[in-house]
């Protein structure tokens, strides 16, 4: 049964990677490649054993759902590593926060160009259903590749607004778990948070939905850990959004 009815809600705000498109695994793999290469170089230089990036724990805790440079800072901080900030136009080969973030972006582009993008069928059906009921929709994503991915997946026409990493940078909005990007999307749609639904697969996204005072927070469990989403504030947790259609 779909709990998203027009008598209760005016809008639904969807995360992109892992909710609408099957790109979360791409991001996780690219983060691992980036950090493992970086950590391996540091371990060799220091004569210490390598402690690789762990997708099951490090990805979920430190980078999933966050703006790219925030993800770099968060993970490096967890390892006690402090790098210069650098600048957004920095070379991907620079040993700075922005350099590492840009290197990760380049890795994602390589994969997307080679493999394309797949949209989750159940997610598309839910978006189409809520729109048919007069409920507005938006994408809220930390990714600066958001619009490219949406176009590749052929879902751009299904959304009234997009608040992505580009918008967050331009407006200087903090990323998830802060609620600012979701609140901006709701404002652009002309709806109050209490009348809007947040749908996210990341702990940080669910936390942002709860912190923003949204009327309903739905967690999408793509990682086999529904309890973490519930503990982070999800009202409902599903394995796939087709369960709500």
- Tell me which H or E stretch contains 115: helix 97-115
Phi, psi of 136 (to 5 degrees): -80, 160
Residue 59: how many other CB atoms lie within 10 Å: 22
- Region label for 153, one of left (φ > 0), alpha (ψ between -120 and 50) or beta (otherwise): alpha
Q: Which residues pair with 161 in a beta bridge?
A: 138
State the Cα–Cα distance between residues 175 and 131, nearest whole angstrom. 26
52-61, long-range: CB < 8 A, 24+ apart = 55/28, 55/29, 55/31, 56/223, 59/28, 59/31, 59/32, 60/202, 60/203, 60/223, 60/225, 60/228, 61/203
Q: One of 10, 17, 64, 221 is an active-site residue; which one? A: 17
Task: Residue 143: name the closest of 113, 109, 118 by CA.
Answer: 109
Q: Which residues contact 103 (CB under 8 A, 6 or more apart)?
A: 34, 92, 93
Q: One of 7, 10, 15, 82 is an active-site residue; which one? A: 15
Number of helices and strands in the chain (H, E)? 9, 6
Per-residue DSSP letter, 21: B
Q: Is 17 a catalytic residue?
A: yes
Would you name the residues annotated as active-site residues?
15, 17
């Amino acid at each position: 049964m779909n709990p998203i009815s027009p008598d209760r809600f005016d809008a639904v705000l969807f995360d992109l990677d892992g909710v609408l498109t099957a790109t979360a695994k791409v991001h996780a793999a690219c983060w691992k490649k980036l950090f493992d290469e970086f950590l391996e170089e540091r371990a060799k230089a220091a004569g210490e054993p390598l402690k690789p990036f762990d997708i099951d724990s490090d990805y979920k805790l430190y980078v999933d759902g966050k703006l790219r440079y925030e993800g770099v800072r968060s993970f490096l901080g967890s390892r006690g590593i402090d790098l210069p900030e650098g600048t957004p136009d920095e070379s991907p080969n620079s040993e700075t926060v922005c350099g590492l973030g840009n290197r990760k972006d380049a890795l994602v582009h390589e994969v997307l160009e080679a493999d394309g993008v797949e949209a989750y069928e159940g997610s598309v059906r839910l978006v189409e259903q809520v729109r048919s009921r007069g409920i507005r929709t938006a994408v809220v994503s930390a990714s600066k590749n958001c619009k490219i991915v949406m176009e590749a997946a052929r879902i751009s026409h299904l959304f009234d607004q997009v608040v992505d990493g580009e918008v967050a940078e331009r407006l200087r909005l903090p990323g998830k778990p802060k609620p600012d990007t979701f609140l901006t999307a709701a404002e652009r749609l002309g709806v109050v948070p209490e009348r809007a639904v947040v749908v996210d697969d990341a702990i940080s996204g669910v936390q942002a939905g709860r912190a923003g005072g949204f009327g309903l927070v739905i967690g999408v469990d793509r990682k086999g850990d529904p309890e973490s989403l519930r503990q982070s504030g999800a009202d409902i947790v599903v394995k796939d959004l087709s369960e709500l259609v």
